[in-house]
Each structure stands twice: as structure tokens, then as C-alpha cells.
Amino acid sequence: MTDRQHARHKLLIAVGVLLAFGILVLFAISGSNSEILKNLFTQELSNEELRDQLMDFGWRGYTVVAVLATLQLICTVLPAEPVQVLAGFSFGFPVGVLCCMAGVLLGSSLIYLLQKTFGDRLRGYFIRKLNLDLEKIARSNKATVIMFILYFLPAIPYGMICFFAASMGMSYRRYTTVMMLGALPSVCIGVGLGYVAVVSNWIVTVCIFAVLILVMIIIFCKKDLLFSRLNNYADMHKNVPLNKVRDVNGFVMSIVYYVIRAFFFLRGIRVKSVNKAGDLKGPALVLCNHGSFIDFIYAATVLRKFKPNFISARLYFYHKYLGWLMRCVGAFPKSMFAVDMENARNCFTVLRQKKILALMPEARLSTAGRFEDIQENTYSFIKSANANIYSIKISGDYLADPKWGKGFRRGAEVEVEMDVLLTAEQTKELTLDQLKQAVVERLSYDEFEWLKQRPHIHYRSRHMAEGLENILMTCPVCGKKHTLATKKDQISCEHCGLLTTLNNRYEFTGGFRFENLAQWYEWQKEKLKEEIIGDEQYSLFSKVELRLPSNGKGFTRHGGWGECTLSRDGLTYEGTKDGEKVHIHFTIERIYRLLFGAGVNFEIYNGPEILFFVPEEKRSAVDWYLTSMILYDDAFKTAV
């Protein structure tokens, strides 16, 4: 969905909610309803007169109470008790409860829709009002219990609880179930009070009201203490084991593996694998190169029976269902290019248990089908692992489904080869530089050189070149940035017109300056490097949307708007985060590489949290990646 479509979608929802709200308000104040609404606050009518008036309305009387309950929920400043007492007084206990609960259902549904559309603007306000740690509660396995407790605190309006619950990423079905069950006891109490006022004498009624008011006053005075206790309760029951290493569920792994292999068959993708290492003995490290998003499936062709634990980017674990699936197959998260003690503990746990730990040390997808460098910390970990080291070399995976492409290419071939790299004893004897050389020699790849040796392979796709503008940012003819566009197999520049086409061997046609996209990519990187090295004040700037980890069905959620600047001082974000103004800065030492999604975003991990920035010009995401690489390597004099 484009930004314009997204804005239109939000506008339509806002208009729909406002229209529904307006209809409810008009109904509430229409005809004799206005007298009932007025009497809730002025007491001009006697209780008997008010009751008789509602009873005379018939079905309209029930609807009036339900609508009032709905408005009370949406307008969080309105108290719930008068409406509930009125329902019990007028209709008796069972019917009164049903009327109020119907209002709760409608009101909570409207709030859920508002929260999902505009919630991040409201989220910070309600968190401050409640003085509760939403993130801590969301991670707790007692989140539902805490929602129920909130309903028994008279200092908190129902509507505020609904906004709070909706912001936790619950599904609508679970959300409405929790809200209805949570509201039911307090609704019963309120309606019951109204009913008691009818069937009992005034002394009993006054005594009950006095006791309830006293309890409300005590709870209100101690609300900060209660909120603090709830935060501590959530912290005590947090889902600590969620990202710990789990044993591989062989049944689930087999299902995932064969489903994807069936997809390969239907798409005409052939996978050839060979195991030169024989049986793997733990503790062992398996190092794989990383050209495709689904390299773990290719690796599984030779590794599956050994039930390895894979390391994967933490982003994928934010998704509720994908995260669950990955944990089932033994994967655990890593905050890429950031200090991650949780991941380190998990890695050494796997090795201590003499299991197989599989990782892709490049830690990001290849941008142009060539080997990406490996962070020095990774080599240090490999050396300290005290384990046998194996390698899996995957070839053809990038060309089958490139980072920038739109879908798999038919006719693709993928080759997988596993072999012994180093024994634990050999690793101990090598220096860090020697270890680095051994790993790079084994894992290095160039997809285009590999393809030259296989002239029989031809790729078929209706979108062969589409997406290339998201990694090729500079036109080689006019030198302008972000002017490229693609359609089917054509590559054009907004200023120069048609530049070239991409054939079924990933070759540029028509005597174009470059033979393939890897050469074009390297040229633009060198050009950018010259520009950055020659300008001490060089900086990259963009207005951005900030997206943060999601606890729901998606990977991320809207977190705010602001501006990003990348320079020799590092990366700075100035803007809003969950409704609050923030200044976030990462020094260049903390930025090894800014990860990026081609034509989508650039991102950086801050501990377990990802900061996911969507720039105005989405094609510029690769620019942020390359600039961070050049700035970091220049600061530490590393070869780019």
C-alpha cells in the first residue's frame, strides 16, 4: 500500500468512525432521550419517573441504555456507574446487564478500530495516564490477568483500558473476549446496585453505596502504588524463555521443508546438494554464505537430519506466527551488528550441549550477488567456540531470488555443498587473521562468475529487471541519483530514457557499459566512496517514518515521524517515538553496517529493539547502507 493509499485508508476509517459516533450521539439526544441524558447529571426527574419513561420506550429504551454505555466507553471522561445503575433500576438485573454489555461490545470495537488506525498518536497519552509499562506488560504471560485487574480499579475508565489493550497487538477476537469478560463483573456490580435500589429499602442501598465509595476513594489514593505493583507483577511473570534455545521440532521442520521443496518443484527450481563432511559431530559450527532469504532451506538439504539450531535476524521474531514457527524449528534471534548478550548466551548453550549451531556470518543478504564482508567480532566468536567448523557453500541462490527482485525465477538451479572447514584443534592453532582467511576463501562467491560456467541455465520471469532501481541508485550516463525505473526487463532513466534491458542470463544488452548488475553496483559504490572521502562534512539526510517492533501479526508498527542524518559523527534521529519527542544518536563506532530492505527502509538495532526507518525516497535505502559502510571503514581504515 502506497503512502497516499494508506492516508486515504486512514481517512475513510476516521470518517466511518466519526459517522458512527455522530449517529450514536444524535440518537442519544433525540426525542425524549435528551431528558434521560440530562437527568443522569441534574436529577430533575425522580427515579420512578425516569424508570417509567424508559419502560414506556419499549425497545427504544433498551437501545438508549446500550448507546449511553457505548458513548461512555468512547468518551473516557464519562463515568460508567450512572448508566449501569440506571439500567439495573429500570430493567432489572438480567436485561440491564445485557444492555450495558451490548454497549461495551460496540464501544470496544470502535476503540479497537481507532487504535489500529491512529493508535500510536494516542498510545503515549494513555500510557502516561495509567503510569503502566506497556512493553513490560505486553511481554508478560500474565497480560490478560492484568487487564482484568484494571477493570476493578475505579480510577480507570473502561475506554482507557480498551485503548491500552488494543495497543498490545491482540487479535480482535481475543481483544473483545478479554474486554467483555473483564467488564462483566463491574457491570454486574453497577447494574446490581440499581436493581437493589428497587427491591430493597433505602438503608441497605445507602450502606452499599457508602462502602463502595469508601473503597473507590482508598483505591484512587493508592493508585500509583497499585500501578507500581502491577508493573512488578508483569516483570515477575515475563516470558523469559520465549527466545531461549529450544530443541528442534522435527515434525514441524519436516513440514516446512517439504512444503517449500514442493514450491520449488512447482516453480521449476532445481536444488542439487552434496555432503562431503559425512556425519556432523557436536559441538559444531556450520557457516553458510547468504545470498537468499530462504538459504536455511537450501542448507537443510544437507543439514536437516542433524537438527541444527539456526541464528536468525531478530526482526522475524517480532511477527507472532513466523516467530513461533522459527522457534519450533530451533532458530533463535540475533540483533544484527549490535551487542546482543541474549544471543551470545544462546550460542554457547547450544555448543555446551554438543549440538549443531548454524549461522550465516555475513549477517545480511547479498546486495549484488557477491560475498559480503564479515564483522571482526564474528571471527572472534568462531575462534572461541572450541568446536569443529563446517561450511555450506550455496551457489545460484541469489540468482533464483535476488534481494531486489519480485519473486522466484523459473529455470533456476541451486547447488549446495557441505564440507569440513576446520577441526576444533586446528582452529586453536590458527591466528585470527589465518582463521579469517580460511573462512573467506571457503565462503566467497560471485554468482555471475558461477553462472558463466553453466551456460545451460536460463531464467524466466515476467519481472526480470523490476526492483533493480532499489540497489542501482546512480545512472551511469547522466550521473544523477534515484532517477532509474524498471518495467519487465527494461531499465530506464528519467533523464536519459531507455538504458538497457536484462536478458535471461542476467546480462545487460545493447552494448551497455556494464556486463552485469554487480559491476554497475561496484562502480556506483566507488563513485560514492570518492565523494565521501573527498568531503569531510559529507552527510546524508532524509525525513523518515520510524517503525518499531510489533507484538502482533506484523513485523513492525508505526512509531513516529522525524529526520535522520548520517555523517562521520554517526546516525542521528530527531523526531517522535510513541508520541514523545526524542533525540537518538549512534556513534559511527556502533554502526558497522546499516541494514536495509531494497526500496523499503534502512534499520539499526538498539539492543533487542529495532529502529526501522522508512525514508521519503525509498529507493535511497541502499544509499544509507553504502554510506554507512564507507564511513565506518574510512574511520577504521578497513578496505571496502
Residue-level pLDDT at 637: 72
Distance CA 395, CA 292 (A): 10
Residues 17 and 88 in one domain: yes
State the pLDDT confidence band at 495, using cuts at 50, 70 and 90: very high
* DSSP character string of 514-559: -SSHHHHHHHHHHHHHHHHHT-TT-EEEEEEEEEEE-SSSSSEEEE
Distance CA 23, CA 17 (A): 10
Residues 251 and 234 in one domain: no
| Secondary structure of residue 507 in the 3-state scheme | coil
Q: Residue 615: is its pLDDT beyond 80?
A: yes
Residue-level pLDDT at 607: 85
Number of domains in the chain: 4
Q: Residue 183: is its pLDDT beyond 70?
A: yes
Which range, of 189-198, 241-250, 268-277, 525-534, averages the lowest pLDDT? Answer: 189-198
Average pLDDT score over residue span 427-455: 95
Select the more confidently predicted residue: 187 or 35.
187
Is 459 domain-assigned? no
Q: Residue 537: is its pLDDT beyond 70?
A: yes
The chain-wide mean pLDDT, for the chain, equals 82
Q: Considering the chain, what percentage of its residues have pLDDT values greater than 70? A: 73
Q: What is the pLDDT of residues 123-154, one digit of tens each?
A: 555 555 556 666 566 666 666 777 777 776 65
Residue-level pLDDT at 462: 93
Residues 42 and 121 in one domain: yes
Is 180 domain-assigned? yes
Average pLDDT score over residue span 475-504: 95
Is 271 domain-assigned? yes
Amino acid at 626: L
Residue-level pLDDT at 246: 86
Select the more confidently predicted residue: 601 or 195.
601
Residue-level pLDDT at 639: 43
Q: What is the pTM of this model?
A: 0.69
Distance CA 419, CA 427 (A): 15
State the pLDDT confidence band at 40, using cuts at 50, 70 and 90: very low
Q: What is the pLDDT of residues 371-380, one digit of tens each?
A: 999 999 999 9
Q: Residue 640: is its pLDDT beyond 50?
A: no
Is 457 domain-assigned? no
State the pLDDT confidence band at 169, using cuts at 50, 70 and 90: low
Which range, of 78-92, 313-327, 419-433, 485-499, averages the lowest pLDDT? Answer: 78-92
Average pLDDT score over residue span 32-48: 51
Residues 342 and 490 in one domain: no
Residues 15 and 140 in one domain: yes
Q: Considering the chain, what percentage of its residues have pLDDT values greater than 90? A: 54
Domain end residue (candidates: 218, 238, 258) = 238
Residue-level pLDDT at 604: 97
Residues 333 and 379 in one domain: yes
Distance CA 83, CA 104 (A): 12
* Distances from the Cα of 544 to the Cα of 336, 366, 404, 473, 594, angstroms: 21, 25, 21, 19, 15
Residues 302 and 379 in one domain: yes
Residues 287 and 158 in one domain: no
Residues 512 and 579 in one domain: no
Q: What is the pLDDT of residues 270-325, one digit of tens each?
A: 999 999 999 998 899 999 999 999 999 999 999 999 999 999 999 998 888 888 89
Distance CA 3, CA 590 (A): 31
Residue-level pLDDT at 300: 93
Residue 347 DSSP symbol: H
Strand order in the sheet with 413-422: 270-275, 413-422, 388-395, 284-288, 356-359, 309-313, 332-334
Q: Residue 60: is its pLDDT beyond 70?
A: no
Structural domain boundaries enclosing 279:
243-452
State the pLDDT confidence band at 41, using cuts at 50, 70 and 90: very low
Domain end residue (candidates: 426, 452, 478) = 452
How remote is the C-alpha of 336 from its chain's centroid? 15
Q: Residue 184: is its pLDDT beyond 90?
A: no
- CATH at 417: 3.40.1130
Average pLDDT score over residue span 435-449: 96
Strand order in the sheet with 497-501: 484-487, 490-493, 497-501
Domain end residue (candidates: 238, 264, 286) = 238
Is 629 domain-assigned? yes
Is 527 domain-assigned? no
CB 228, CB 222: distance < 8 Å: no
Is 85 domain-assigned? yes
State the pLDDT confidence band at 332, using cuts at 50, 70 and 90: very high
Residues 270 and 384 in one domain: yes
Phi and psi (nearest 5°) for 577?
A: -140, 110
Residue-level pLDDT at 240: 44
Is 546 domain-assigned? yes
Residues 331 and 444 in one domain: yes
- CATH at 586: 2.30.29.30
Residues 229 and 165 in one domain: yes
